[in-house]
Amino acid sequence: MQEQIEAVQRMQDYISKNIYSEITLADLSRASMYSPWYSYRIFKKLLKITPADYIRRLRLSKTALRLRDESVKVIDLALDAGYESAEGYQRAFYNEFGCNPSEYAKNPVPVCLFIPYGVKYSKPEKEDNMESVKNIYIQQITKPARKVIIKRGVKATDYFAYCEEVGCDVWGILTSIKSISGEPVCMWLPEKYRTPDTSEYVQGTEVPLDYNGIVPDGFEVIELPECKYLMFQSEPFEEKDFGITIEQVWEAIKKYNPEPTGFSWDKDNPRIQLEPVGTRGYIELVPVK
C-alpha cells in the first residue's frame, strides 16, 4: 500500500507542476513509474476520482480564483485550461460551479472549489521518538476585529474528525471566499462562540467587519474582536514528516510560558490552525492577552 501511496503522490505532484500543460496518461505513468493501466487504477482507487476529472476540476478551480482576483479575459483562461473555445470553457465552468464565468468575475459568490489533498496527508504518520526535532519559531502578531464565516461540526476536536462529520468540500467553499488573511483557517472555538450540540473545531474564512456578501447555506457568521496571537511556526518539512511536525509544534506550545514576556494565554479567543504546507512549515496561532 505504501508504494501505491507514493506512486499516486508522484502523479499528484506532476499534475500540480504541469497543470496548464497537456497531461496524458503516459505522462502520469512515467511519474508513477508504473504502467498506464495500473497508474490509472491506483489513482482512482486512492483518490476516488479519475485522473481526467481531477485535472479538469483543478484547472477550473484555479481559473475561478483568477477570475476572482485578476482582470483576465475568459478566452485566455479557456486556453490556459485546455479548452479550444470560450464556449466550451463556459459550459464546463457552469457545470462545475453553477454560474457563468463572466458573471462570477463581476460578483464572485462562494463556490465549491476543488482542493486536492496529497494522498500522503490522508493519515498523518506518527513516530515513536523526537529525534528529528527542529526549530520552532515564535512571533507576536495582532489580528484585527473581523467576521468569520464558519461551518460548524458536531463533536469534532480535530481536522480528521471534522472532515468525517461535515466532509472535505467545506475547504473548497471557504477558499473561494476572499479572506483578509489570504487563506481559510481552522479554529478551536471557546465555549462562548459555540452553540448547543456543535463542535469545538470548525473551519472558516476571515472577512472584514463590513462584509455583506453571500453566506453559503449551512454556514454562519461570528464576530471576533482584535486579538494578539503568538504564532508558532515549524521549519519547512517533508511530507513524510507531516505528523511529527505537528506534534513538535504542539509540544512547543505546551511547554511555552508567555508570562516572562508580559502575556498570559487568552482563553476567550479561538486558537487558530493554518493548512500545513511543507514549504512554509506548520503554523498555529495561540491567543494571548
Give Cβ neighbours of residue 88 (< 8 Å, ≥ 6 apart): 78
Task: Please report the domains of the chain, with CATH numbers, ordered by start residue.
Answer: 2-106 (1.10.10.60), 136-288 (3.20.80.10)
Q: What is the mean pLDDT of each run of 10 residues along the chain (289 residues)?
A: 89 93 91 91 92 94 94 92 92 94 93 86 52 80 97 92 86 94 96 95 97 93 97 88 88 94 95 91 96
Kindly state the helix (H) or strand (E) to which residue 120 belongs, with its residue range. none
* Amino acid letter for position 12: Q
185, HSE (Cβ side, Cα atoms, 13 Å): 23
Report the predicted TM-score, pTM, of the whole model to 2 decimal places.
Answer: 0.80
Kindly state the helix (H) or strand (E) to which residue 237 belongs, with its residue range. none
Residues 63, 70: Cα–Cα separation, whole Å: 10
What pLDDT is stored for residue 131 in this prediction? 52
Scanning the chain, the segments in alpha helix (DSSP H) are 2-17, 25-32, 36-47, 51-69, 74-80, 86-97, 101-106, 159-166, 169-176, 242-255
CA distances from 112 to 99, 280, 284 (A): 12, 25, 25
